[in-house]
Amino acid sequence: MPGSIPEFDITSTLIPARVERGSGRRIGSPRILRTDAGRIGVVLTFVLFATALLAGWIAPAHPFASVAPPLRPPTLGHPMGTDDLGRDVFSGVVYGARTSLFLALIVCLLSGSIGVAVGSIAAWQGRGTDDALMRITEFVQVVPRFFLAVVVVALFGPGLDRVILLLGLTSWPWIARVVRAEVLSLKQREFIEAARSLGAGPVRVLLREVLPNALPPALVVLSLSAASVILIEAGLSFLGLGDPDVVSLGYLANNAQRFLRVAWWMAAFPGAAIALTVLGLNLLGDGLNDALNPRGGR
Amino acid sequence: MPPRYLLRRLAQVLPTVAGLLVLNFCIIHLAPGDPVIALGGEHGDAAYYAFLRTRFGLDRPLPEQLLTYAANVLRGDLGTSFVHGRSVAHVIAERIPATLLLVFSALALSSAIGVGLGVLAARHRRRPTDTAVNVAALLAYATPPFWLGQIALLVLTVGTGLFPVQGMTDAREQRAGLVHLLDVLHHLALPAFVLAVSELALTTRLVRTGLLEAFDSDYVRAARAKGLPETSVVRHALRNVMLPVITVIGSRAGMFLSGAVLVEVVFAWPGLGRLLLSSLLSRDYPVLLGMFLGISLAVVLANLITDLVYARLDPRIRYH
C-alpha cells in the first residue's frame, strides 16, 4: 500500500532466528545445519526434491491409471489407498509433489529475477526512478493474487503455464522491497566507495559488488515465497481450477471433498503432503536466515 | 491524527483504484474471444450481446471503452448475472454479510489466541512450552486452510457429531430469536476456528519475537526494577508489540479472504466462497469479475484502515 507505514523486515519478525548454542561450532558443517529448524528444513526440502526427480521410480503406477478397485483404504500395495476411479493415491501424491515443486521453482525464478531487478534499480537510481518503481511495487502488492488467478483461469481456461506466469508476475514485490533495502544500505558502505575509486563503472559495481551481498536476504524471502505459491496453487486446484492434464496436490484434495465421508485417505494424504512441503520450505527459509545473519534476532 | 495525513492517504488510494479498474478492463479484453462474452456470459442471445455492446460502448475506440467501463463500475453497475438474472452488485452484496461474519469471527479468534500463545511462548523462552508453541505455529502456518477444514469435518463432525456438518443454519427446522443465534454460532464455530488457525500462527510469532525484544529493552528493565508485577510488565510491553502485529494482519487481508473462500467451500458456508464456486461452475463471468474487483477494493480499504489505525495508535508517527 502506498507506503506511509515505516517499513519493517517481515522475515525477521516471522522467523525467530535462534542464537547458536555451543554445539553449533562443529567444524565443517554448513551453517544452515546448525539449527533444528535448518536441519529439518533441509531434510524435508531434500526429500521433496528427491521425490520430484525420482517420481517415475517411486510411484508404483501412473497417477491417472486405474490400477485397483475404487475407494479402497490404505493397504501394503496401495499405502495411501485408492480413489473413486481406482487410481493409486500414493502415485498421485508423488507426481503432485513434482508438479508443486516445478511450479514453485519456475515462479521463484521469474519473480526472483523481476524482484532483484526492480529492487536494485530502484535503490541504485534513487529519486524519480525509485519513486515510480516503488509505486508499481505497492500496486502489485495490493492485487489479491489468489483471486486474480481465479478470474484469469476462469476466463482464459485452465493451464499450468498461465498460473506460473501469473504468479511469477505478481509475487515479486516482497523480494523487490528486501533487495531495495539491502542495496540502499550497501550503497553507503566503504567497499563500494573503494570499488568506485578504483574506477569501476556503476553497472560493474552494482553487478559485482552490491548484488552478491544483497542476494542472501532475497534467498530467504524466496524460499518463503515458494511456500506461499504452493499454497495458492493448491487452493486454485481445490476450487477445480487446476490443469486437468497435470496431477497436483490441490487437485487430489478437490477430488477428495466429495468422498470425505467414505474415503478419509483421499483427503488426508495429499493435504499432509502440501503441509509438509510448505513446512519444509518455511523451515529452510528459517535456517537460511539463521545461517546468513547469526546474530540477528534471538 | 492530523487531517492532512488523512487527506494524503486518501489521495494515495485513488491511483490504486484506477489501476485496479484498468487491470479488470485488460482482463476482459485480453480474454480469448469477444469481450462481450466476458461481460455477458456464453449463453446470451444476439440481442443481449448487442445491448451490452452499446452499454459498454464496445464498438468505440479502446480509450473511450475504458472510460465507459470505469464510469459504469463507479456507478455500481457491474453488469448482470445471467444465472441469477439480477445485477451483479446485488448478487454479491447479499453474500457479503455471511462472509464478514466468518472473517471477523476468525480475526477475533486468531488475534485473541495468537496474542495469548505469543505471550506464553515469550514468558517461557527456550523452555518446552516455547518450543511447543513454535512448532504448533509453524505447522498451522504450513497447513492449507481447506485441508484443515476437511480434517476438522472428518474428525469433529463425521467422527463425533459435536458440530453440524455444513451450512449456516439447521435446515430441518425454522428458528427465531436467541435459538436462531445459537444455531448460527454452532455452525460458525468450526469454520471460524479453521480459518483462524493459519492466521493465528503469524500473530503468535510476531508477538513472541516482539516481546522477547521488548524484554531486553531499558523500559521493561526499569518497569521490573521498580517491582511491577510480571502481568503489568507484559501488558506494558504488549502495547508496543501490537503495532507491527496490526500492520501484518492488515497487509494480509487478501490472503485472509482467499482462505475464507476456501473454508466456505469446505463447510458450505453461504458467503462469497460459495458464490465464487457456483459462478465458476456456471461460467458466470460478470459475477467473477465483479467479485475480483470487489475483493481488490476490500483489500485496498483494509490497508487504508490499517494505516489509519496505526497512525492513531503510534504517537511517534506524524506523517508530514
CATH number assigned to the domain comprising residue B187: 1.10.3720.10
Question: Which residues in chain A are closer than 8 Å to B300, comparing Cβ atoms?
Answer: 1, 142
B5 vs A contacts (CB less than 8 Å): 4
Is there a domain that residue B184 lies in?
A: yes
pLDDT tens per residue, range B183-208: 888 889 899 999 999 788 889 989 99
Residue in chain B closest to A139 (alpha carbons) equals B16
Residue closest to A140 by CA, chosen among A157, A118, A123, A160? A118
Same domain, B299 and B262: yes
Report the gap between the CA of B173 and the closest CA in chain A (Å): 24
Q: Nearest residue on chain B to A228, judged by CA atoms?
A: B142
Question: Does some domain include residue B55?
Answer: yes
C-alpha cell at A76: 501394503
Of B74, B105, B125, the residue that ends a domain is B74
Asked whether residue B231 is assigned to any structural domain, the reply reads yes
- Digit-coded pLDDT (tens) for B206-225: 999 899 989 889 999 999 99
Given an 8 Å threshold on Cβ–Cβ distance, is A139 in contact with B265? Answer: no
pTM of the entire predicted model = 0.86
* Contact call for A278 and B144, based on CB within 8 A: yes
Q: Is the pLDDT of residue B25 over 50?
A: yes
Q: What integer pLDDT is reported at residue A2 of this predicted model? A: 37
B7 lies in the same domain as B149: no
Instruction: Give which of B6, B17, B147 to mutate to test A binding, by max A Cβ within 10 Å.
Output: B147
Whether B79 is covered by a domain: the verdict is no
pLDDT at residue A17 in the model: 43
pLDDT of residue A29: 67
Q: Are residues B152 and B33 in the same domain?
A: no
Same domain, B107 and B52: no
Range of the domain at B52: 3-74
Farthest CA pair distance, chain A: 74
Residue A39 cell numbers, joined = 536441519
B16 and A139 within 8 Å at the Cβ level: the answer is yes
Number of domains in chain B: 2
Tell me the chain B residues in contact with residue A256 when contact means C-beta distances shorter than 8 Å. 150
Q: Are residues B99 and B53 part of one domain?
A: no
| Chain A residues within 8 A of B9 when measuring between CB atoms | 2, 4
Q: Is there a domain that residue B83 lies in?
A: no
In a domain, B266, yes or no: yes
User: How many whole angstroms separate alpha carbon B94 and alpha carbon B171?
Assistant: 19
Q: For chain A, how far is it from start to end, CA to CA, in angstroms?
A: 29
Higher pLDDT, B17 or A4: B17
Please tell me the predicted confidence (pLDDT) of residue A294.
Answer: 56
Q: So what's the pLDDT on residue A129?
A: 93
Taking contacts as CB-CB distances below 8 angstroms, the residues of chain A near B307 are 1, 4-5
Do A13 and B205 count as a contact with CB atoms less than 8 A apart?
yes
Mean pLDDT across chain B: 86
Give A87's strand partners.
A66
Q: Are B19 and B101 within one domain?
A: no
Q: Is the pLDDT of residue B76 over 90?
A: no
Among B99, B204, B198, B103, residue whose Cα is nearest residue B145: B198
- The contacts of residue A225 (CB under 8 Å, 6+ apart) are A107, A108, A111, A171, A174, A175
State how far the Cα of A51 lies from the Cα of A55, in Å rounded to an integer: 5
Please, are residues B298 and B257 in contact by the beta-carbon 8 Å criterion?
A: yes
Chain CA centroid to CA B106, Å: 10
A-chain residues near B208 (CB < 8 A): 16
Angstrom CA distances, B46 to B40, B50, B52, B234, stand at: 11, 6, 10, 68
C-alpha–C-alpha distance, residues B247 and A4, integer Å: 11
Question: Is B68 found in the same domain as B98?
Answer: no
Question: Among partner residues A15, A142, A253, which is closest to B146 by beta-carbon distance?
Answer: A253
On whether both B112 and B25 belong to a single domain, the answer is no
Pair (B48, B100) in one structural domain: no
Same domain for B260 and B149? Answer: yes
* Residue predicted with more confidence, B49 or A102: A102
Chain A: residue whose CA lies nearest to B245: A13
On whether residue B287 sits in a domain, the answer given is no
Pick out chain A residues at pLDDT < 70: 1-29, 293-298
**How many Å lie between the alpha carbon of A196 and the closest alpha carbon of chain B?**
35
- The answer to whether residue B320 sits within a structural domain is no
Closest CA of chain B from A223, distance in Å: 13
Same domain, B188 and B122: yes
Query: How far does A232 lie from chain B, in Å, by closest CA?
Result: 9
> What residues in B contact A143, CB-CB < 8 Å?
20, 23, 254, 296, 299
CB contact under 8 A, B258 and A232: yes
Q: What is the pLDDT of residue A1?
A: 36
- pLDDT attached to residue B191: 93
pLDDT of residue B2: 66
Q: Let me know whether B63 and B125 are in one domain.
A: no
Residues of chain B with Cβ-Cβ distance to A274 below 8 Å are: 143-144, 147
Residues B85-128 have pLDDT tens digits of 788 999 999 999 999 999 999 999 999 999 999 999 999 988 89
- Chain B residue with minimal CA distance to A270? B147
Last residue of a domain, one of B74, B109, B137: B74
Q: Which residue, of B12, B42, B74, is where some domain finishes?
A: B74
Residue with cell 475464507: B260
User: Å from B215 to nearest chain A CA?
Assistant: 12
| pLDDT of res. B174 | 67
Interface A–B counts its CB contacts (< 8 A) at 182
Residues of A in contact with B158 (CB under 8 A): 260-261
Contact across the interface for B13 and A2, Cβ inside 8 Å = yes
Cβ-based contacts of B212 with chain A (< 8 Å): 16, 298
Q: Looking at the complex, report in whole angstroms how far the Cα of residue B228 sits from the nearest Cα belonging to chain A.
A: 25
Of A15, A147, A275, the CB nearest to B143: A275
- Closest CA relative to residue B181, chosen from B96, B101, B68: B101
Q: What angle do CA A13, A14, A15 make, to 5 degrees?
A: 95
Distance between CA atoms of residues B9 and B199, nearest Å: 27
ipTM greater than 0.90, yes or no? no
pLDDT digits (tens, 9 = 90+) for B145-182: 999 998 888 888 777 777 776 777 766 666 677 788 88
